Amino acid sequence: MMRAARRTFSEMKPRTRFAAHKSNTFNKISPQGLERFRPEMYRIKPGEDQPPVAHAIMLRSHKIQDSDVPLTCRAIVRCGAGTNNCNVPRMTELGIPVFNTPGANANAVKELVLCGLLMASRGIYEGASHMTKLHAEGTAHERIEKDKAMFGGRELTGKTLGVVGLGAIGAAVAHSAIALGMNVVGYDPGLSVEAALRLPSGDMEMASLEDLVEQSDYVTLHAPYIKDVTHHLINAELLAKMKPDASLLNFARGELVDEAALNERYEDGGGGRYITDFAVSDELYPRPNVISIPHLGASTEEAEANAAAMAADTVQLYLETGTIKDSVNFPACSLPARDEEHVHRCTVITENRPGMLGDLMSVFGDANLNVVQQINTSKGELAYNVIDLELPRTADGKVDVGEFGTGDFDKLQAKIMEVSGVKSTRFISDWCPGTGYAVKVDDQIIGIGVDSPEQASYAEL
């Protein structure tokens, strides 16, 4: 499958051969974020160019396909929070971590939510549209005072906002709503300690989803979309519990709302507005109390730069140290820095099952290699290992990889890959970045002793 041979590790000497990490980009990624990549260590190419080697893929809205993913790919990072377009189940199956950038666009989305609150409480959008019509008719100046009563509204101060989902965006919205004088009620069944620390201390209440919608004058959604979990989170039953004039704001995912049920609410005389950052159904869009915005939540220069910079930092940290942070399918993992002169770091992705770690460690024990430090973490069916090996040397200073001989990491890697349950391995080297990676597909080991897959992708397997 991968035919272009490269020199083995035993033939390489530190600082004599340089192979940069290579990253593909899909969509337009902010140049300010891409500047975070060190030019001496990374080569960035548009995904459409289909370079033969890509160690990481950066994207925004592009929907990833197997054909986009070269066999050398070690990581996929989305410049944004949602990863629905990243085919996470398939990447997990292939042993590829998928990263996101939670919080990078939080301020941009928060500001648009505040705009949505104002549009839900006042006739701003409708009034502006009416003025456009009056100006076209030439009657704007004489009608402006007469017609303003058509667009009266109410103030936000003293009203109750229900925030569904209290991640970075939800917490930011809660803080701003309190600053506007609103009462805030929150709901998040998966609230982490880190997220809890971002919430307004003592200034908001927590409630069940049912109690939240019953109390709220406005409900704003900031939950992730998870198939069969949050699909149609706001359904007919919950809509029936809402106040008759309560408004719903959706700046998270369109699928969170059962639009047929929402349309029925309006058909039955329910009031309030639906403000959303997504396209809506044919039944909803003609309604004057439904305002659909073209997914502008993160569409600011600052948000795009923040997300790209965070994505660049995350993928560099992973490629250079094996550290996993902000991955949606791999466990968080970090091992202290290694002594690169005397220690060689490798990462191993395996099945998460009893005895797996012991089988893996036996390879190093049998080779008489000392494990200086190691960490094993797991998530679902996957386990992730970061291992630092002491590098014993011969009298003339050459690295001796135990039974595999002087500096022959390829043979060591092949031995690791032969262990049942191992999905992939990677040797991390600052003097030859982008090499030393192997994957197992249908019991076939691919990548050892090879530098370029000649355009081979997972779609070709």
How high is the pLDDT of residue 194?
Answer: 80
Q: Please, which pLDDT band fits residue 9 given cuts at 50, 70 and 90?
A: very low
How high is the pLDDT of residue 351?
Answer: 94
How high is the pLDDT of residue 66?
Answer: 87
**pLDDT digits 0-9 by tens, 217-242:** 999 999 988 888 999 999 999 999 99
The mean pLDDT of 245-270, rounded to a whole number, is 96
How high is the pLDDT of residue 143?
Answer: 94
117-141 b/e (C-beta count within 10 Å ≥ 16 → b)? bebbbbbebbbeebbeeeeeeeeee
Q: Please, which pLDDT band fits residue 43 given cuts at 50, 70 and 90?
A: confident
Do 122 and 265 sit in the same domain of this protein?
Answer: yes
- Distance between CA atoms of residues 358 and 356, nearest Å: 5
Domain region containing 381? 4-102+302-460
Please say which residue of 292, 320, 355 terminates a domain. Answer: 292
Do 78 and 110 sit in the same domain of this protein?
Answer: no
User: Would residue 75 count as lying in a domain?
Assistant: yes
User: Would residue 297 count as lying in a domain?
Assistant: no
Distance of alpha carbon 213 from the chain centroid: 28
274-283 b/e (C-beta count within 10 Å ≥ 16 → b)? bbbbbebeee
Instruction: Quote the longest CA-to-CA distance of the chain.
Output: 97
Please say which residue of 292, 322, 337 terminates a domain. Answer: 292
pLDDT at 61 over 90: no
Do 120 and 265 sit in the same domain of this protein?
Answer: yes
Give φ, ψ of 394 to 5 degrees. -80, 175
Q: Please, which pLDDT band fits residue 405 given cuts at 50, 70 and 90?
A: low
How high is the pLDDT of residue 18?
Answer: 31
pLDDT at 6 over 70: no
Do 260 and 286 sit in the same domain of this protein?
Answer: yes
Please say which residue of 269, 292, 315 terminates a domain. Answer: 292
Task: Tell me, letter by letter, the H, E, C secondary structure of the chain.
Answer: CCCEECCCHHHCCCCCCCCCEEEEECCCCCHHHHCCCCCCCEEEEEHHHCCCCCCEEEECCCCCCHHHCECCCCEEEECCCCCHHHCHHHHHHCCCCEECCCCCCHHHHHHHHHHHHHHHHCCHHHHHHHHHHHHHHCCHHHHHHHHHHHHCCCCCCCCEEEEECCCHHHHHHHHHHHHCCCEEEEECCCCCHHHHCCCCCCCEEECCHHHHHHHCCEEEECCCCCCCCCCCCECHHHHHHCCCCCEEEECCCHHHECHHHHHHHHHCCCCCCEEECCCCCCCCCCCCCEEECCCCCCCCHHHHHHHHHHHHHHHHHHHHHCCECCECCCCCECCCCCCCCCEEEEEEEEECCCCHHHHHHHHHHHCCCCEEEEEEEEECCEEEEEEEEECCECCCCCEECHHHCECCHHHHHHHHHCCCCEEEEEEECCCCCCCCEEEEECCEEECCCEEECCCCEHHHC
Do 90 and 117 sit in the same domain of this protein?
Answer: no
User: Between residues 441 and 1, which one has the greater pLDDT?
Assistant: 441
**pLDDT digits 0-9 by tens, 297-353:** 988 999 999 999 999 999 999 998 999 999 999 999 999 987 767 788 899 999 999
How high is the pLDDT of residue 195?
Answer: 84
Do 154 and 279 sit in the same domain of this protein?
Answer: yes
Q: What is the CATH number of the domain that holds 246?
A: 3.40.50.720
Do 19 and 149 sit in the same domain of this protein?
Answer: no
Q: What angle do CA 7, 313, 102 make, to 5 degrees?
A: 130
Do 178 and 234 sit in the same domain of this protein?
Answer: yes
How high is the pLDDT of residue 435?
Answer: 58
User: Between residues 123 and 26, which one has the greater pLDDT?
Assistant: 123
Strands of the 56-59 sheet, one edge to the other: 42-46, 21-25, 56-59, 75-78, 98-99
Of 6-15, 129-138, 392-401, the range with the lowest mean pLDDT is 6-15
Q: Please, which pLDDT band fits residue 461 given cuts at 50, 70 and 90?
A: low
pLDDT at 29 over 90: no
How high is the pLDDT of residue 369?
Answer: 87
How high is the pLDDT of residue 17?
Answer: 29
pLDDT at 180 over 90: yes
**pLDDT digits 0-9 by tens, 435-455:** 578 888 778 888 776 554 454
User: Would residue 325 count as lying in a domain?
Assistant: yes
pLDDT at 19 over 50: no
Q: What angle do CA 21, 22, 23 make, to 5 degrees?
A: 125
How high is the pLDDT of residue 121?
Answer: 96
User: Would residue 261 count as lying in a domain?
Assistant: yes
How high is the pLDDT of residue 193?
Answer: 81
User: Would residue 110 count as lying in a domain?
Assistant: yes
pLDDT at 272 over 90: yes
254-267 b/e (C-beta count within 10 Å ≥ 16 → b)? bbbbbbebbbebbe
How high is the pLDDT of residue 310?
Answer: 95
pTM: 0.78
CB 283 within 8 A of CB 77: no
Do 374 and 412 sit in the same domain of this protein?
Answer: yes
Q: Please, which pLDDT band fits residue 210 given cuts at 50, 70 and 90?
A: very high
User: Would residue 22 count as lying in a domain?
Assistant: yes
User: Would residue 265 count as lying in a domain?
Assistant: yes
How high is the pLDDT of residue 332?
Answer: 94
Do 49 and 76 sit in the same domain of this protein?
Answer: yes
The mean pLDDT of 383-399, rounded to a whole number, is 85
Sign of CA dihedral 137, 138, 139, 140: positive
Of 49-58, 189-198, 264-273, the range with the lowest mean pLDDT is 49-58
User: Between residues 268 and 19, which one has the greater pLDDT?
Assistant: 268
- Distance between CA atoms of residues 367 and 19, nearest Å: 28
pLDDT at 406 over 80: no
Do 308 and 423 sit in the same domain of this protein?
Answer: yes
* Tally of domains in the chain: 2
How high is the pLDDT of residue 5?
Answer: 33
Do 139 and 225 sit in the same domain of this protein?
Answer: yes
Q: Please, which pLDDT band fits residue 392 given cuts at 50, 70 and 90?
A: confident
Percent of the chain with pLDDT over 90: 60
